[in-house]
């Protein structure tokens, strides 16, 4: 009922005048009263099992803002495929690897669209980014550009020195702080380095400094947006309320996002000015082929779909996606990983022993060490298992009515895949709540989207296109931090695995820890 109480409170705040409230309820009742008399014995014809909803509200009274937990508990009652009515919107929840394979692989074409909420429309410039674009020509063009020009194996290799400089730069700065016994926020330092990595990917320069607060401020802005993105919105679920924005989510999102929109506009304006200066002076372009250059230079003969050039909305949508998705989820995963490892001394000891054996103590670790660190690889899989960046993946939507496991799934049904719940299901994993990297030693199970019991990046055509980079950076940061420093954390923070919930899940209490150098001083000073 938390969700309902939240809505009632915001509803009352929003409509302070009794006349406006009376008019609104009168209009709404004209459309909604007929729904009170519908057959509520089932969610729809031949629906999967699920709680029978209330009139108008559907299943919302059964839910809170922690949907991944609510769905996990409902799956224990109703099984691995659940039907719900979220307000007036039909929805299903997938809670087993077998059902995930049916929905995301066997019938992928029918489940390839996205559910676009009012808050998503704001941050994606009305679904003009690759994550939220409808499946079609624009989505295909954006994905092709990212894969072939910016995230190809060749480009990935070319960016390795940049990744190394960012990671080693953090280690050197932490070494300075360690001399004064300073406690640090691990997620913030990972975020700043990742934000610089993304900014180089986007516009070929560092935009953030570890010693200044800009990175911290942007991290908080991103979290505010992610929190709002993960908040169920009555405007999306009862469409007649959309113009009223009763919870104020769209309005709040627009206010927070305004600063980031100005930031993206500034990056684009600077690049356009540079290109115009080159043109006027007939100067050959010597800039790196970064994302801005690729998107602003894009030309196509696809007049039918209006894709001769990318619009400003598409360019900004892609920038937004790269900065938010490329920083927040990865830095949070690093924080979860450090928390799990440091609170498990046996695992910590084995990782450090492996690092010392492979890397030694006379240099920092580098990316080429990762293939030689099997226990590290197993530990990272375990982090992704217990703490997937997006616990419900990003919701999909059915393109048309179809059948799954003998049940009818209606057109435009919201589709949730609860990877967080699968990680905690004893039918899927032995001792599911324990952090045990050993479960992956000698196992062929991987995170690439082929094993449906481990899907932190999704699978198929709508999987995370940047997963190789995120996957690599989680390995690199965790190993580098553990190899270069000993860490001392207050037990009450280290052992608190509470969550802050949005579209992604952050650690409830930030991991604060004091680094102590474990390598010779000369290594940090090179």
Domain segments of the chain as ranges: 137-525
Q: Contact at 8 Å (CB) between 230 and 332?
A: no
pLDDT at 26 > cutoff 90: no
Integer Cα distance of 372 and 374 in angstroms: 6
pLDDT at position 212: 75
pLDDT at 9 > cutoff 80: no
pLDDT at 304 > cutoff 70: no
pLDDT at position 357: 98
DSSP string, 242-283: GGG-TT-HHHHHHHHHHHHHHHHHHHHHHHHHHHHHHHHTTP
CA distances from 313 to 46, 59, 355, 378, 462 (A): 41, 35, 45, 40, 21
**Rounded mean pLDDT of 136-140?**
89
Of the candidate ranges 293-307, 377-391, 401-415, the one whose mean pLDDT is the lowest: 293-307
pLDDT at 38 > cutoff 60: no
Mean pLDDT of the chain: 88
| Residue-wise pLDDT tens digits, 194-206 | 999 999 988 898 8
Integer Cα distance of 494 and 487 in angstroms: 11
Integer Cα distance of 72 and 427 in angstroms: 13
pLDDT at position 305: 61
| Residue-wise pLDDT tens digits, 231-288 | 889 899 988 888 889 999 999 999 999 989 999 999 999 999 988 887 887 776 666 6
| Residue-wise pLDDT tens digits, 164-195 | 999 999 999 999 999 999 999 999 999 998 99
- Tell me, yes or no, if the pTM score tops 0.85: yes
Q: Burial-class residue 482 by CB neighbours within 10 Å (0-12, 13-18, 19+).
A: buried
Q: Contact at 8 Å (CB) between 276 and 269?
A: no
| Residue-wise pLDDT tens digits, 394-438 | 999 999 999 999 999 999 999 999 999 999 999 999 999 999 999
Of the candidate ranges 8-17, 102-111, 324-333, the one whose mean pLDDT is the lowest: 8-17
Integer Cα distance of 509 and 346 in angstroms: 23
Label residues 22-44 b or e (16+ Cβ within 10 Å = b).
eebeeeeeeeeeeeeeeeeeebe
Question: Which of the following CATH numbers is that of domain 137-525: 1.10.3720.10, 3.40.50.300, 1.10.630.10, 1.20.140.10?
Answer: 1.10.630.10
């Amino acid at each position: 009922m938390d969700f309902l109480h939240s809505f009632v409170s915001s509803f009352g705040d929003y409509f302070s005048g009794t006349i406006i409230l009376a008019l609104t309820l009168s209009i709404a009742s004209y459309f909604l009263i007929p729904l009170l008399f519908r057959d509520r014995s089932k969610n729809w014809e031949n629906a999967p099992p699920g709680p029978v909803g209330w009139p108008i509200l559907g299943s919302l009274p059964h839910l809170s803002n922690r949907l991944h937990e609510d769905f996990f508990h409902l799956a224990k009652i109703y099984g691995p495929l659940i039907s719900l009515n979220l307000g007036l919107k039909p929805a299903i929840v997938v809670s087993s690897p077998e059902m995930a394979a049916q929905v995301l692989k066997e019938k992928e074409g029918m489940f390839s669209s996205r559910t676009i909420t009012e808050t998503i429309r704001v941050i994606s410039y009305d679904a003009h980014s690759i994550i939220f674009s409808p499946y079609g020509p624009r989505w295909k063009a954006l994905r092709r550009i990212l894969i072939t020009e910016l995230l190809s194996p060749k480009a990935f290799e070319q960016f390795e020195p940049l990744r190394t400089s960012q990671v080693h730069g953090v280690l050197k700065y932490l070494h300075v702080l360690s001399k004064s016994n300073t406690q640090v926020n691990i997620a913030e330092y990972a975020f700043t380095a990742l934000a610089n990595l993304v900014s180089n990917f986007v516009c070929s320069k560092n935009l953030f400094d570890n010693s200044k607060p800009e990175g911290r401020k942007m991290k908080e802005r991103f979290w505010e947006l992610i929190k709002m993105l993960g908040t169920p919105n009555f405007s999306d679920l009862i469409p007649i309320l959309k113009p009223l924005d009763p919870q104020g989510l769209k309005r709040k999102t627009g206010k927070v996002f305004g600063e980031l929109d100005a930031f993206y506009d500034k990056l684009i304006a600077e690049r356009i000015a540079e290109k115009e200066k080159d043109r006027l002076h007939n100067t050959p372009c010597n800039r790196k082929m970064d994302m801005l250059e690729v998107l602003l230079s894009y030309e196509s003969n696809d007049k039918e779909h209006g894709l001769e050039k990318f619009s400003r909305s598409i360019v900004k949508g892609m920038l937004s996606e790269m900065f938010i998705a490329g920083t927040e989820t990865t830095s949070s995963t690093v924080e979860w990983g450090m928390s799990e490892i440091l609170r498990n001394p046996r695992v910590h000891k084995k990782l450090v022993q492996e690092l010392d054996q492979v890397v030694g103590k006379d240099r920092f670790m580098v990316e080429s060490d990762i293939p030689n660190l099997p226990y590290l690889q197993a530990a990272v899989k375990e982090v992704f298992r217990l703490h997937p960046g997006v616990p419900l993946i990003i919701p999909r939507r059915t393109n048309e009515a179809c059948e799954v496991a003998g049940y009818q799934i209606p057109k435009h049904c919201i589709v949730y895949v609860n990877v967080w719940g699968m990680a905690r299901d004893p039918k899927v994993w032995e001792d599911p709540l324990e952090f045990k990297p050993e479960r992956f030693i000698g196992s062929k199970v991987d995170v690439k989207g082929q094993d449906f019991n481990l899907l932190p990046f999704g699978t198929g055509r709508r999987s995370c296109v940047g997963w190789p980079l995120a996957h690599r950076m989680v390995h690199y940061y965790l190993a580098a931090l553990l190899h270069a420093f000993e860490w001392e954390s207050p037990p009450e923070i280290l052992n608190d695995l509470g969550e802050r919930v949005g579209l992604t899940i952050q650690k409830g209490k930030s991991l604060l820890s004091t680094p102590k150098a474990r390598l010779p001083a000369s290594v940090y000073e090179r």
